Amino acid sequence: METEPDIAGSVFAGCKIISKLGQGGMGSVYKARHEALDKFVCVKLLSPDLAREQRNIEFFLREARSAAKLEHPNIVHVYNFGQENGSYFIVMSYVEGKSLQELVNEKGPLPVKQATDIMTGVLEALAHAHAKSVIHRDIKPANILVGLDNVPRIVDFGLARSITEEKQLTMAGEMVGTAYFMSPEQGLAGQVDARADLYAAGATYFYILTAKYPFDGKSSIEVIHKHISEPLPNIVLVNPDVPLWAARVIERLMRKKPEERYQTAGEVIAELSKHPDGEDEPRQTESNFDLAELTARVARSHAPSQEASLESSQPHTPAPPAVRQWEAPPPPPAAAQRRPDITEPPQAAKPALQLAALHNGLKAAVHLALTMAGTGCFVLSGASGTVRGSLTSPFVSDPASAGLLFAAGAALYAWALWQKPLKFTLGYAFFAAAAAATAYSGGVYIPAPAGADTIAKGFLALQIGLNHAFSSANLIVYALFLYLAASKAVFKNWGLKISALAAYLLGMLLAYYYFKGGIQVIPDRGWLAAGAVFALLGSAAAATKKQFSLFFNPQLFFLAAYLSMFAMFTSPQVERIAERRTLDQQAQASRQNMLNMAQYQQALAEAQSQALYDEEGRPLPPKLPGKPEEIKPPSRLVLQSQARLEYYKFLGARIRSALAESAGIIFIAFFLSLMANAFFLDELITAYKERELF
């Protein structure tokens, strides 16, 4: 490493060097007097070791170019930059003061007002830089100088880049920044924009209010990992003097996803400006809502009772003597006894609640009718096509009928949705959408004769469905419905738990007969044992769990039991196909090897029978052909994979054909619609219970 020469007292780039201020990552910083401007400045020189690589020179000069674009009181001003006497330099304004890092090291956590004023200045500088399409990418306390006038100024734009800059000086996948203040997207070497600076500003705000890093660790990798994956520590627990509004600002600045943070520095400045004194302001955060029925009940329950008015008309009796703590209180006077002819206010509310229950029952019936009718409209919309099995045929062959029926189904479902206490829930939305899509597909697959109209197809689907209601082809449909219904009810009361367990086991029995399908197959004992274990675990989970659990989950255990039963019957079939494929491949390889050997023997005989001579007439050895390599059949593992794929294709075609011919797809659609109704009924019951509590 080259020893840096002592340039104190020399004139460099029009500046007389006075003293060395410090050593940075890119080079040394000197205090100097600009001879032309007659003022103190800073001269930053690129280290000779770093100047050997062009990439470091570009980084250094990019800092100068980035800062030179910016004219703001909270950003150091660049007067000049370039190269002189083989050294690269930047001449910038001199700030008499200390870095924010040094202030915290000396004083500890800064007062809230001082810290907020400093961060407001930093954010104003960032707003200016971002408006000029410049991202700093290394905001931290060490890069913020605080002058004697308490004005913060951002320095070190060595990692800054222009948003529109085409030439990227950082290599793909390279992380740039300081680990303690690095945004998650920088740690992942992802796309970085101005919101990364806001994250770093939030981390800096956290640090100067607590004198502790938001995330700490034994290595930079550990710190970066915490920025990416761990929740932000509660700053109020670190420093109880931090007001809640500041904690909220920091929490939003340091959210993991950029789209969830403040989107501009101006938004943060506006939030900080609401607290000019740095303290919490008393604000009215409550809102009053007049709910007529609830207000009336509360008023009745707190109003003076008729008993009190009756007692007030009686002659005044002296109060009983004081009761000692260890004595039982005397019984209430007879005048205060409950009178049977006076109605208690809570009992007066029961008729209203009974009417509400009746109203909810009517809503449930209306919702059921709407969803069933909507499902039927989707079936007819799919049935309006002329090409069976084509999902686009209805809108191609008869767009008017298909569109009208589809719109009617959507409108009925929207009407049903309007009946819900909660306008959007994920479970309801999934089953409603699945019911509509499945009903449309079921209409497309109706096995109707050519030329049948939409209404005829609808009646045909109804007739086929009734005729095949108990067909073995639809056993898998009932098994699916029982599983879904049981999964919905398994976390309810004990009556529903027992019903859910019975539904799970009955569904497994139906699935057993469906997959067996009348064929003489010996089930795989390993999968049979696995299915039994999963069923027992599911039963235990159903009996003990009162709410959803990610690991000990009856729904997942019974799903695994269903899949084990599927594998129990498919594994022997796959083995049969694999065995057949093995024999075929062996025979094919043997035939090909025999053919290749015969061709080799013939070529060998021909080569040996030919006499070859060189130019001088001397005999040459014959050119013998190479012996062919033995062809080997594919491995057993490959053949099993091919056999499994072949069987699954066959089974899928079989199930699809059976469901289409027996209107099983339409059964599934109506069952999914019933599941949506179950979610609706659950919401109604919950809303009713909440109302009854009042």
The pair of structure tokens assigned to 599 is 């061709």
The per-residue pLDDT for 195 is 92
In sequence order, which ranges of 36-177 are alpha helices (DSSP H)?
54-68, 100-107, 112-131
Return the ∠ at Cα 379 (arms to 375 and 382), rounded to 5°.
Answer: 140
Q: How does pLDDT run across 77-126, given as a tens digit for each residue?
A: 888 888 887 788 888 888 888 889 999 999 899 999 999 999 999 999 99
Give the contacts of 637 (CB within 8 A, at least 6 positions apart). Answer: none
Q: Is residue 191 within 8 Å of 185, Cβ to Cβ? A: yes
What is the rounded CA–CA span in Å between residue 418 and residue 640?
52
Residue 691 pLDDT level (bands cut at 50, 70, 90): low
Mean pLDDT in residue range 341-363: 55
**Rounded mean pLDDT of the chain?**
78
Q: How does pLDDT run across 615-674, given as a tens digit for each residue?
A: 777 777 877 788 888 888 888 888 888 888 887 888 777 777 767 766 778 888 888 888
Residue 257, CB half-sphere, CA atoms under 13 Å: how many?
2
Q: How does pLDDT run across 128-153, given as a tens digit for each residue?
A: 989 888 888 889 998 898 988 889 98
Q: Is residue 70 within 8 Å of 128, Cβ to Cβ? A: yes
What is the CATH class of 97-272? mainly alpha
Q: Is residue 377 within 8 Å of 404, Cβ to Cβ? A: no
What is the rounded CA–CA span in Å between residue 47 and residue 505?
76
Give the contacts of 133 (CB within 8 A, at least 6 positions apart). Answer: 162, 163, 164
Of 474-488, 497-511, 652-666, least confident by mean pLDDT is: 652-666
| Nearest C-alpha neighbor of 440 from the set 353, 380, 367 | 380
11-93 with 97-272: one CATH topology?
Answer: no
Using the predicted structure, report yes or no on whether residue 313 has a pLDDT greater than 50: no
Residue 598, CB half-sphere, CA atoms under 13 Å: how many?
6
Q: Where are the domains of the chain?
A: 11-93, 97-272, 349-467+663-694, 472-606+624-661
Give the contacts of 597 (CB within 8 A, at least 6 positions apart). Answer: 628
Residue 377 pLDDT level (bands cut at 50, 70, 90): very high
- Amino acid found at 487: S
The per-residue pLDDT for 355 is 56
Using the predicted structure, report yes or no on whether residue 294 has a pLDDT greater than 50: no
What is the rounded CA–CA span in Å between residue 104 and residue 96?
17
Of 412-421, 456-465, 677-686, least confident by mean pLDDT is: 456-465
Residue 364 pLDDT level (bands cut at 50, 70, 90): confident
What is the rounded CA–CA span in Å between residue 565 and residue 433?
29
The per-residue pLDDT for 577 is 84
Residue 318 pLDDT level (bands cut at 50, 70, 90): very low
Tell me the catalytic residues: 138
Residue 470 pLDDT level (bands cut at 50, 70, 90): low
The per-residue pLDDT for 214 is 93
What is the rounded CA–CA span in Å between residue 521 and residue 524?
9
The per-residue pLDDT for 501 is 87
Mean pLDDT in residue range 458-462: 78
The per-residue pLDDT for 521 is 60
Residue 586 pLDDT level (bands cut at 50, 70, 90): confident
What is the rounded CA–CA span in Å between residue 50 and residue 56?
6
Q: Is residue 183 within 8 Å of 196, Cβ to Cβ? A: yes
The per-residue pLDDT for 138 is 85
What is the rounded CA–CA span in Å between residue 177 and residue 187?
9
Q: Is residue 76 within 8 Å of 67, Cβ to Cβ? A: yes
Using the predicted structure, report yes or no on whether residue 164 has a pLDDT greater than 80: no
Residue with tokens 């013998």: 624
Listed as own residue / partner, the contacts of 333-337 with beta carbons closer than 8 Å and 24 or more positions apart are: 335/307, 335/310, 335/311, 336/307, 336/311
The per-residue pLDDT for 69 is 77
Residue 4 pLDDT level (bands cut at 50, 70, 90): low
Using the predicted structure, report yes or no on whether residue 410 has a pLDDT greater than 70: yes
Using the predicted structure, report yes or no on whether residue 307 has a pLDDT greater than 60: no
Residue 314 pLDDT level (bands cut at 50, 70, 90): very low
Mean pLDDT in residue range 548-565: 84
| Nearest C-alpha neighbor of 416 from the set 466, 484, 475, 370 | 370
CATH H-level superfamily of 11-93: Phosphorylase Kinase; domain 1 (3.30.200.20)
Q: Is residue 569 within 8 Å of 515, Cβ to Cβ? A: yes
Q: How does pLDDT run across 191-211, given as a tens digit for each residue?
A: 888 899 999 999 999 999 999
Which one has a higher pLDDT value, 673 or 25? 673
Query: With 0-12 CB in 10 A as exposed, 13-18 as middle and 19+ as buried, what is 169?
Result: middle
Q: How does pLDDT run across 27-69, given as a tens digit for each residue?
A: 788 888 888 888 888 888 888 778 788 877 877 777 677 777 7
Report CA-CA distances (Å) from 479 to 542, 558, 566, 653.
18, 12, 12, 19
The per-residue pLDDT for 678 is 87
Q: Which residues lie across from 20 on neighbouring strands?
A: 30
Residue with tokens 């000396």: 106
Using the predicted structure, report yes or no on whether residue 262 has a pLDDT greater than 90: yes
Report CA-CA distances (Å) from 424 to 104, 417, 492, 688.
49, 8, 22, 18
The per-residue pLDDT for 208 is 93
Residue 463 pLDDT level (bands cut at 50, 70, 90): confident
Of 300-309, 368-377, 595-604, least confident by mean pLDDT is: 300-309
Q: Is the dihedral of CA 148, 149, 150, 156 positive or negative?
A: negative
